[in-house]
Amino acid sequence: MTWQTIARRDIEVTAGTRSSKLLLGLTAFSVLLAAYIYPVIGTAPITTARFGGFVAGWLTTLLPFVGVLLGYGAVVNERESGALRLSLSLPNSRLDVLLGKFCSRVGLLTGALLVSLAGAGALVVYPFGEFVVSRFLTFVLLTVLFESVWCGIGLATSLIVATRRRALVLAFGLVFLFVVVWDAVGTALRVGLNAAGVVDGTLPGPARFLLGLEPGHVFQRAVSGLVTGGGAAEGPWYLNEWVALALLVLWSVGPLGLAYASFARRDIS
C-alpha cells in the first residue's frame, strides 16, 4: 500500500458521511450565494477579479471551521479504534498516513470549491459582468491554498493528541484564537498605543507584520495584491502581496511538519 491508496480509501469513506456532505454543501452554497449577491450590491465594474475581494472576507470565516472539521478526526479516529496500528503494519509508513489523509481531505474540499467557484464565475459574468481569466484563476489557486492551511491545521491536531475530544478542543481553540481573538487583540493594541500617544493612528511596520501573520490576514493581503489589484498594504516591503503568498505557503506546510515530527516519535498505543 502507498499514500495514494490511503487517500483513495479515505475519500470514499469521508465523502460518504453525512457531516462531510453537509460541510462541503455549506461551502459550495456560501460561495454561490456570494456570487449571486455581488452583482446586485457591488459597484461597477462587475468583474470576477473584484468578486475575489468581495468573497475573501466570507471565506476567511467559513473555511477555518470547515477545514478543521474535515481534518481533526482524520488520524485520531483510527488511533482510538485501533485501525491505525493495523494500517501501519500493512506496511504503511507514518508519512504515508499523513500524505494520504491530507490529500484526501484537501481534495474533497478543493473539489467543492472548484465546482462552486466555476458556478460563481458564471453568476458574476451573466449578464453584464466581465470575466478576468488570469486574476480569477489566481484567486482560485489562493483559495485552494488557504483551505489547505486549515485542513492541515485540523489534521495536525489529529496527529498530536490521543483522543478525538482533545483534537476537537484543540482545533476549535486555534480557530477561535485566529478568527475571533486575533483581530480583537490587534484592535485593543492599536487603541491602547494610540491613547498613550505612542503611535498616531497606525501601528509601525513590524507590529503590523506580526498582527498580519494570522492566515486569514495573509490570504486577504495576497488576494488584494494579486487579484483585485488594490495593493496589499502601504508600508515596508514585508507587507506586500508576495511576502503574503510565501507566508500562506509556510502556513500550509509548517503546522503539519511540526505535528508530523511529534507523530513520528510517538508510541501508537
Model confidence pLDDT, tens digit, residues 64-102: 999 999 999 999 988 888 888 877 777 778 898 899 999
User: Which pLDDT score, from 0 to 100, does residue 100 have?
Assistant: 93
Number of other CB atoms surrounding residue 181 within 10 Å: 12
User: Which pLDDT score, from 0 to 100, does residue 234 have?
Assistant: 67
Beta bridge partners of 47: 130
pLDDT, tens digit, 9 for 90 and up, residues 191-220: 777 777 666 767 777 888 998 999 999 999
Average pLDDT over residues 36-41: 93
User: Which pLDDT score, from 0 to 100, does residue 112 have?
Assistant: 96
Average pLDDT over residues 213-231: 89
End-to-end CA distance of the chain: 22
User: Which pLDDT score, from 0 to 100, does residue 82 have?
Assistant: 80
Helix axes 133-160, 94-125, angle to 10 degrees: 150
Cα 26–Cα 66–Cα 64 angle in degrees, nearest 5: 125
pTM for this entry: 0.93
Query: Grid coordinates representing 242?
Result: 508576495
Q: How far apart are CA 122 and CA 196, in angstroms?
A: 50
Is 232's pLDDT higher than 60? no
User: Which pLDDT score, from 0 to 100, does residue 251 have?
Assistant: 96
Choose between 93 and 28: higher pLDDT: 28
Work out how many domains the chain is built from and give that number. 1
Domain residue limits at 176: 3-265
User: Which pLDDT score, from 0 to 100, does residue 173 have?
Assistant: 95
